Structure formats: C-alpha cells, structure tokens
Amino acid sequence: MTESLVRALVEMQEDEALRRAKELLDQGSDPMTVLEACSSAMEEVGERFEKGEYFLPHLMMAGEMLRQISEMIKPMVRESRSGVGRGRVLIGTVKGDIHDIGKNIVVFLLEANGFEVRDIGIDQPAEKFVEAIREFRPRVVGMSGLLTLAFDSMKKTVQTIEEAGLRNEVRIMIGGGQITEKVREYTGADAWGPDAIAGLKLVRQWTERTA
Ligand code: B12
C-alpha cells in the first residue's frame, strides 16, 4: 500500500509523493503508518547521500516533502486523539544539529494527547535547556538529534542540567535516527525512543507515575 509513496519520496517525485500520501490518508490509512513509510524512505535517501549518489539539495527536497506530509497528518492526529492538560514537556534539537522534522512529529503527537509542550527549536545549547527548565518547570525533557555529533551535545546537556541541580526534577528522553541504548547510556539520559509513539509512551508513563 505504501510502496508507491516510498518510491516517489526516494525518487524525489514531489507531486507524486504528496498525491500518494493524500490518497492513502483519504482512504483511511493510519497516519502513523504513513509516517513510518516516510521514515523508511528517508533511510534510503540517507543511504544514497552516503554513497555519493545524492547531495545536499536532495536532503533538502526530502525534508520539504516530509514537512508537507507532516502538515497533512497534523490535523488528523489532533482529531483522532484529544486530551486535557496532563503535564509539561520541554523539547528541542541539541546544539550543532538542525534536523527538526522528527522532533516536530513528537511535538504534535504529545500536544494531540493533551500535554503542554514547549519546543525551544533547533541547535540549542545546554544552557538554553537549563534556562527553559527553570522557567517552564517541565516533568519531562526531550532531546532530539540526528547527527552523530549530537550524542556529545546530548551528554553535555544532561551534565549541565545536573550541574544546575535540576536533574532530579526531570526525566530525560532522547531520540533521533541514530539513537540506540548504547547512546542513551553514553549521554546519561533516562530513556530513548525510536519513534514519536515511543516518546508519547514514555511521557505518559513518567507523568502518570509521578502525578
Ligand atoms: C531531511 C534531512 C536533512 C534536512 C533536514 C530538514 C529538517 N528541517 O529537519 C537538511 C537538508 C537540513 C539536512 C542537513 C544535513 N544533514 Co541530514 N538528513 C535528512 C534525512 C534524509 C531525513 C531526516 C528526517 O527528517 N527523517 C524523518 C524523521 C521523521 O525521522 P527522525 O528525525 O529520525 O524522527 C523520528 C524518530 O527518530 C523519533 N524522534 C526524533 N526526535 C526525537 C526525540 C525524542 C525525545 C523521541 C522520544 C523520539 C524522537 O521520532 C520521529 C518520528 O517517528 C536524514 C536521513 C535519515 N536516515 O534520517 C539525513 C541525515 C540525518 N543527515 C545527515 C547529514 C550528514 C546532514 C548534513 C551534515 C549534510 C551536509 N553536508 O551539510 C546537514 C547537517 C546540518 C546540521 N547541522 O544539522 C546524515 C547524518 C550522518 C551522521 N552520522 O551524522 C543523515 C543520517 C544522512 C546520511 N545517511 O548520511 N538533512
């Protein structure tokens, strides 16, 4: 069902990709399945980039197609899952990294489920996370990063939160394409999530337990 969407994304056929995504959604496909298909297409785009077959403009085009598909999905997720103020989550992409499509998906899924989210954006240094924790007082802090260099930024951010005396006040989750349990251990975060739904589950678990 989703193969033609994946193909169109990988082959950079923007109109066809958007048309196919809309068709799938109109036919009642689960928005999360459509997003998963997009992610697997991005894997292949990334691989072509690594092999030197694709270049930066291809990554940019891929990002743009994905952004537009996320925009299509947003209202559907909002419609299907509603909730009331359940807790605060602070989220941002760590220093040195400007990827934000995945983070934005995490944000809209959390908001759709009734969490109050403050998104501090991309390329955010550790100090900005600390500043925002002091101001916003979230239960959960989420850090996103797709580059391998983001691992060090995440580690530094966890350390800085600890040095600021705020580590016991928040649970920290990390996520982004290359994150694994090993990376989580390295950074000192409490948990990691492979996708937005995993992020939502963590936030639910943490806010219910301490509520
Ligand atoms: C689109 C794209 C871009 C776009 C990003 C646009 C944007 N607004 O985000 C642009 C063109 C800007 C870009 C730039 C670069 N990119 Co780029 N990019 C990609 C690409 C193709 C797709 C990323 C994406 O959006 N995926 C889809 C989303 C939905 O997936 P996701 O982000 O992983 O998010 C999901 C989960 O991970 C999770 N998640 C995400 N965050 C969080 C947070 C929490 C808390 C939780 C729980 C879960 C979670 O939930 C999301 C939804 O399910 C990837 C390839 C790939 N395999 O990912 C390369 C990739 C990430 N890029 C790469 C590179 C090298 C670059 C550049 C350095 C290229 C260059 N030479 O300039 C620059 C870096 C700029 C910088 N400083 O950050 C490499 C990274 C390699 C590495 N080991 O570090 C990749 C892996 C490509 C590759 N295979 O070589 N890129």
Name the token pair of 23.
């068709």
pLDDT of residue 9: 97
Q: Which domain holds residue 46?
A: 3-76
How far apart are the CA of 151 and the centre of ligand 1, in A?
13
Same domain, 98 and 195: yes
pLDDT of residue 114: 87
- Which CATH number characterizes residue 63's domain? 1.10.1240.10
Tell me the mean pLDDT per 10 residues along the chain, length 211: 94 97 95 90 94 96 93 76 72 98 91 92 98 97 98 98 98 96 98 95 85 43
pLDDT of residue 85: 61
pLDDT of residue 127: 98
Same domain, 103 and 200: yes
Atom nearest to 150 CA in ligand 1: 84
Same domain, 91 and 32: no
How far apart are the CA of 146 and the centre of ligand 1, in A?
5
Same domain, 67 and 100: no
Same domain, 51 and 68: yes
What three-state secondary structure class fits 33? Answer: helix
Same domain, 63 and 111: no
Nearest alpha carbon, ligand 1 atom 69: 56
- Which CATH number characterizes residue 206's domain? 3.40.50.280
Q: For the chain, what is the domain count?
A: 2
pLDDT of residue 79: 53
pLDDT of residue 208: 83
pLDDT of residue 123: 98
pLDDT of residue 77: 75
Ligand 1 pocket, 111 CB below 6 A? Answer: no
Q: What is the pTM of this model?
A: 0.92
Name the token pair of 189.
């975060």
pLDDT of residue 78: 63
CA distances to 104, 141, 188 from 57, in Å: 21, 32, 35
Ligand 1 pocket, 12 CB below 6 A? Answer: no
With a CB cutoff of 8 Å and minimum separation 6, the contacts of 67 are 101
